[in-house]
Amino acid sequence: MTNSVTSPQELLTIAVEVARDAADTAHRMRAEGVVVAATKSTVTDVVTAADRAVERQILDALAALRPDDSVLGEEFGEDASGAARSGVRWIVDPIDGTVNYLYGLPHSAVSLAAEVDGVVVAGVVRNVHTGEEWTATAGGGAWRDGVRLRCSGEVDLGQALVGTGFGYDAGRRAHQARVVAGLIAHVRDIRRLGAAALDLCLVAEGRLDAYFEKGLAAWDLAAGGLVAAEAGCGSPV
């Protein structure tokens, strides 16, 4: 084993360094103009050139810093080359909220988490547009700008501001629309902001009371889910 599993705080330090550089790249590329490189599950599920460039930058940085770790990324999938040498796996969403990014809406983020033996222990979510940054370590709390976060204490569903999201598959969207239609009369209101990692961080701050979405991938919720859990929200499922 070339590098041993380090503490959650040490992994977070690496994650923050890498995510900040990646967010700077995404911000610069957005200013230069967005290029749609491909589509994925449907024609509306886009991948920009920035998604790929930012993930490649993250992969290269992690390979240089911790070459024995494995990585799961949204764009390039799983690199398990280091799995036999380290218990650490990094989970990468280079730009969560790609459609927002495409349209210049300021709600997209770099999300990077470190998992040890299958458990997420450190994570950072950094808004590409504003520089807002949320961090968490397992057992160490959730933080933004030096302030420890606590989720909303609202227990009355009728008073809850609830976030959600929609998939790109038409059948799934139709199901999700029916769920929202059944819920809207029973809550304060519903928000659909378009970036699950950031939405989970808003729940951690109490800027949303709850969040639900069907079909999220590991990279959507790894870092944001840890931030929310460490703020007392419970673990995402």
Q: Which percentage of the chain shows pLDDT scores above 70?
A: 91
Task: Work out the pLDDT band at 236, boundaries 50, 70, 90.
Answer: low
For 61-86, how does the pLDDT look when each residue is reduced to its tens digit (9 = 90+)?
999 999 999 999 998 888 755 554 78
Taking all residues of the chain, what is their mean pLDDT, rounded to a whole number?
91
DSSP string, the chain: --S----HHHHHHHHHHHHHHHHHHHHHHHHH---EEEE-SSTTSEEEHHHHHHHHHHHHHHHHH-TT-EEEETTTEEE-TTTTT-SEEEEEEEEESHHHHHHT-S--EEEEEEEETTEEEEEEEEETTT--EEEEETTTEEEETTEE--------GGG-EEEE---SSHHHHHHHHHHHHHHGGGSSEEE--S-HHHHHHHHHHTSSSEEE-SS--HHHHHHHHHHHHHTTS----
Task: Work out the pLDDT band at 42, boundaries 50, 70, 90.
Answer: low
Arithmetic mean of pLDDT, 164-175 = 89
Is 70 exceeded by the pLDDT of residue 58? yes
For 187-210, how does the pLDDT look when each residue is reduced to its tens digit (9 = 90+)?
999 999 999 999 999 999 999 999
The pLDDT, as a whole number, for residue 77 is 86
The pLDDT, as a whole number, for residue 170 is 86
> Could you give the CA distance from residue 108 to residue 95 in angstroms, rounded to a whole number?
6
The pLDDT, as a whole number, for residue 206 is 97
Task: Work out the pLDDT band at 232, boundaries 50, 70, 90.
Answer: very high
Arithmetic mean of pLDDT, 123-134 = 98
The pLDDT, as a whole number, for residue 167 is 85
Is 50 exceeded by the pLDDT of residue 103? yes
The pLDDT, as a whole number, for residue 1 is 40
The pLDDT, as a whole number, for residue 47 is 80
Arithmetic mean of pLDDT, 31-53 = 77
The pLDDT, as a whole number, for residue 40 is 63
> Which of 69 and 34 is assigned the larger pLDDT?
69
Query: Which stretch of 110-124, 147-161, 163-177 has the lowest confidence by average pLDDT?
Result: 163-177
User: Global pTM?
Assistant: 0.91
The pLDDT, as a whole number, for residue 56 is 96
What is the CA angle 130-231-12, rounded to 5? 65
